[in-house]
Structures are given as C-alpha cells and as structure tokens.
Amino acid sequence: MSTPAPDVLLADCPARSALELIADTWSVVVLVGLAHGSQRYSTLLERAGGISKKMLTQTLRRLGDAGLVARPATRGGDYRLTELGVSLLGPITALTAWAEEHAHELA
C-alpha cells in the first residue's frame, strides 16, 4: 500500500509549513548567499542588498530553527548551510533560474 502524495491545498499538510519557510524572498536570498560556503553576518548583510539587520537576524534565526542553517556558537562566527540546507540548493537554483529567465514576463 502506497502513501498518498502530500496535498498542499489542505490546511494541515506538513509540506505547507516547509513551503512557507522557504518561499519568502529573504530565505531564498540567504540560502543562495550561503551556497558557496560559510559567511559572517556582516558579509551576508552587505551581499544581500536591501535586507535590514532585523530581517537578516530573523531570517537566519528561522532558517537555523528549521535546521537549514547552522548558526555560530560565538558572536562573530560564520553561518553555514547544514546538510539539509545543502539538499535544498537544487530546487532553489532551479527556481531562481526560472525567475531570472521569466522576470520580464512577470513585470
């Protein structure tokens, strides 16, 4: 007997909370920013144009709580993707490539 596929149309679908976490712009930007290796907070803030300190902090905290980003144990340390975070890079890369290719059509 096979397990039914998740139905994100249902309010109690577990995949929905995962989508809510990774579907916001800043989550994607931070994950892409960490795709090529660990980064200090200040470097992420500088590279992610337009993000406020408060939003970066909140985003890193949410991604850390979800197990996608490893936060430094001490102040001034580097943030890095966890194994779970790395596994998300394929879908995010495909999504960002699609967005770049079709941005002019969506405007």
- pLDDT band for position 1 (50/70/90)? low
Q: What is the CA radius of gyration of the chain?
A: 15
Q: Would the pLDDT of 5 be above 70?
A: no
Sheet holding 39-40, edge to edge: 39-40, 78-81, 69-70
Summarize pLDDT for 6-63 with one digit per residue, the tens.
687 888 888 888 888 888 899 999 999 999 999 999 999 999 989 999 999 999 999 9
CATH number of the structural domain spanning residue 75:
1.10.10.10
Two structure tokens written together for 20:
């809510």
Expressed as residue numbers, the domain containing 22 is 17-106
Q: At what angle do helices 25-33 and 14-22 cross, to 10 degrees?
A: 70
- Inside any domain, residue 30: yes
**Residues contacting 41, CB < 8 A, separation 6+:** 56, 60, 76, 79
- Inside any domain, residue 98: yes
Total count of domains within the chain: 1
- Inside any domain, residue 55: yes
- Inside any domain, residue 4: no
Beta strand segments in 1-107, E: 39-40, 69-70, 78-81
Residue 91 backbone phi and psi in degrees, to 5: -60, -40
- Inside any domain, residue 12: no
